[in-house]
Homo-oligomer: A and B are copies of this chain.
Amino acid sequence: MSDGGKLDAYGQAGVNYAAIDPGKLMAQRAAKRTAVTLESRGVQELAESRGESAYVIDLGDRYLATVTEALGTKNLVADEVRALTGRSHYDAIAKDTVATILNDLCTLGGAPLCLTAYWGAGRTDWFEDLERMRDLTEGWASASEEARCAWGGGETQVLVGAIEPTRVVLGGSAVGTIAKDRLLTGSRLQAGDAILIAAASGIHANGLTLARKIAQDLPQGYATKVPGDGRGYGEVLLDATPLYGPLVEALQDGGVDLHYAVHVTGHGWRKLMRAEQALRYVVELLPPSPPIFELLSNAAKIDRVEAYATFNMGAGFAFFVPPHQVELARDAARQIGRELLQIGHVEAGPKEVVLRPLGATLAGDSLQIR
């Protein structure tokens, strides 16, 4: 964040992302050195994909993209809300998990081929609750179908002593291929590009540790009505994440010369600066922000700028297209019943996100992901 002296909103919830960095860096360096092994197999990695949302290998005639992701703790909200509503909500949780994985994969321009699941529980009886299992499996299959991606199985495990007894850890992996002319990496992004966003449905799967902490302080916990929405806090948090891959495919199928795509997740709008290049992202219009974010910001006592540096604030996914193709892109999105909103444009650097409506800037060095 630009305001380096202030406690990061995640820090309030006991997750100190800055502290992860030295170990993460160690892993990134060790991982990088393994790439040479591919030479003996006649293929090579796409080096610039390291630091992007998916890892890419050049097979010669096409690219192979893969990503491993996991949900986080959103399902712990479902566990609590089930006690209130009687519904497991694991159909939505499944879609969130699938979306977490596939929304990363599609940022590189990849079409998903298959998805494998990881479901680890703290106790055997987690898998014996057949109502919840039905919701989980139906939600997972439906999301796979919507993405035109085969669910190829996966691993279920019981980890006594590692996972909390009543909890489950949900994640998985996806593989896709990318046609040679459809690859999206930051290098295609350029000054002048228009920034289009696809709406978020709510908090998605990021910021849930903080949201869970906030629930403890709300007058009626997860049953507290969200002002401007009317439903309970827990139910609103559980709105499922949309799949953005079909939009990426619709734009590319529709002839849009897509320059880059970003899945707005952890770090909120700082993620707009994901590309390595030094570019300035000028935001002139803020999209409608779901009411949940006002409640979260108030409860966490963070100002609006910090809220944009933390949450998606209504922007689930960003597309960067040449300015003369904005209408072509919007039309392509409408072909599949989706809307894109132009919120700004890209300029020559330094790297930063300028939030004109808020008179604020998110500095480039506040996003350490490479």
Contact = CB atoms under 8 A, between A and B. Distances in A.
Copies per complex of this chain: 2
A169 B169 contact: yes
Query: Of residues A23, A41, A148, A169, which shows the largest number of chain B Cβ atoms within 10 Å of its Cβ?
Result: A23
Contact of A137 (B19, B27, B137, B150): B27
Contact of A153 (B55, B147, B177): B55
Query: Of residues A33, A59, A128, A154, which shows the largest number of chain B Cβ atoms within 10 Å of its Cβ?
Result: A154
B68 A118 contact: yes
Contacts of A159: 72-73, 169
Contacts of A153: 28, 31, 50, 55
A30 B140 contact: yes
Contacts of A20: 124, 127-128, 156, 158
A145 interface: yes
Given A31-B141, A41-B111, A144-B37, A15 B163 contact: no
Given A150-B37, A169-B162, A127 B57 contact: no
Interface string A161-196: 111100111011101010000000000000000000
Given A169-B120, A175-B66, A26 B134 contact: yes
A335 interface: no
Contacts of A19: 124-125, 127-128
A298 interface: no
A121 B140 CA distance: 24
A133 interface: yes
A152 interface: yes
A14 interface: yes
